[in-house]
Copies of this chain bind each other. A is one copy, B any other.
């Protein structure tokens, strides 16, 4: 039943409930990653977790809430991994490359998580038929990336370009790196990440007739 987003200090969940929710979310992640969005039923998740179907309904208001919690959980984890690796960088170029690298690193150790996200992003839809996690959902991500681009432009590191197009293209390329790994598990993602960083570094850098991106 509980579906509140627990405003602090109010109706906090019991420990056991938290454990169950986490356990269910983990099972959901694995299932989404393995069989895809369309074939992931609550029954299948329950089976994987080793619990009864009803338990899921008990802990989550419905499939939608489960998906929602899953997304924000993974998202939070990823942000917690990536941010500390990007923040120390002082140049926009450095932030760009370290961001790509950090995602690649995270992905490498959390493939199921990312594949599950990808499945959900391209499939989950509201009652109105619109994607629940489409570009609009990425808005925050786009904005923060655009800020970095603008900072680079102002600092003279980057040439002038449409920051929105650049941000959208960057995210798309990163997602493709992830899904490529999903399809070809032996793909060398670290090398891919370096190539991708080169790609965008070249794409954004000020013309200057100038220097290589020594790394």
Most buried by B among A38, A191, A197: A38
The residues of B that contact A196 with a CB separation of less than 8 Å are 165, 169
Copies of this protein chain in the complex: 4
**B125 near A195 (CB under 8 angstroms)?**
no
Residue A11 interfacial (CB < 8 Å): no
Bitwise interface map of A from 117 to 138 toward B, beta carbon under 8 Å scored 1, else 0: 0100011010001010011100
Range class of the A interface residue count: 35 or more
**A162 near B183 (CB under 8 angstroms)?**
no
**A195 near B36 (CB under 8 angstroms)?**
no
The residues of B that contact A210 with a CB separation of less than 8 Å are 205, 207-210
The residues of B that contact A136 with a CB separation of less than 8 Å are 183
Residue A108 interfacial (CB < 8 Å): no
Residue A161 interfacial (CB < 8 Å): yes
> What's the least CB distance linking A90 to chain B, in Å?
12
**A213 near B195 (CB under 8 angstroms)?**
no
**B197 near A213 (CB under 8 angstroms)?**
yes
**A213 near B209 (CB under 8 angstroms)?**
no
> What's the least CB distance linking A159 to chain B, in Å?
7
Residue A19 interfacial (CB < 8 Å): no
